[in-house]
Amino acid sequence: MPSSQFEPLPMSSGEPTPASAPSAQTNPIRDAIAEAINEHKVILFMKGTPDAPACGFSARTVAALQALDAPFAAVDVLPDPRIRQELSALSDWPTIPQLFVDGELVGGCDIVIEMFESGELAQALL
């Protein structure tokens, strides 16, 4: 069984919304992201997929999770620029990848690798 699963969010297959959609009342993309973060113990927002990362930082983060045999959900932010925009607004973190564990932002590539090397990542994923 693969140690990771790629689960596309429904948002990328939705019909296009008007460019000037009011952001105050409803924000389906941000809601879908928040829901995905809450539903998965470990979820990685990345460029590309675990099998085909599209960026070295995403690739290194995936490699750290796989080295620990940690199951994780992954979301590719590339299909729609709004995913990245809404994710960063939600997390107050400007870059991709972003790893969440138990609903909390753990960090981007630098922090994940630092925590992997120190053993903290294995602890956090328990």
CB of 112 to another protein, least distance (A): 10
Determine, following the binding rule CB under 8 A, whether residue 109 of this chain makes contact with another protein.
yes
Tell me whether residue 74 or residue 109 sits nearer to another protein (CB atom): 109
The two tokens of residue 63 are: 């490699």
Determine, following the binding rule CB under 8 A, whether residue 90 of this chain makes contact with another protein.
no
CA triple 92-8-31, angle to 5 deg: 45
Binding mask 30-59 for another protein (x = CB under 8 A): ---------------------------x--
CB of 119 to another protein, least distance (A): 15
Tell me whether residue 4 or residue 115 sits nearer to another protein (CB atom): 115
How many angstroms separate the CA atoms of 76 and 88, rounded? 14
Strands 72-76 and 98-101 come out as unpaired
CA triple 27-31-68, angle to 5 deg: 145
| Cβ atoms of residues 78 and 46 within 8 Å | no
Tell me whether residue 15 or residue 92 sits nearer to another protein (CB atom): 92
Determine, following the binding rule CB under 8 A, whether residue 93 of this chain makes contact with another protein.
yes
Determine, following the binding rule CB under 8 A, whether residue 114 of this chain makes contact with another protein.
yes
The two tokens of residue 121 are: 């990542």
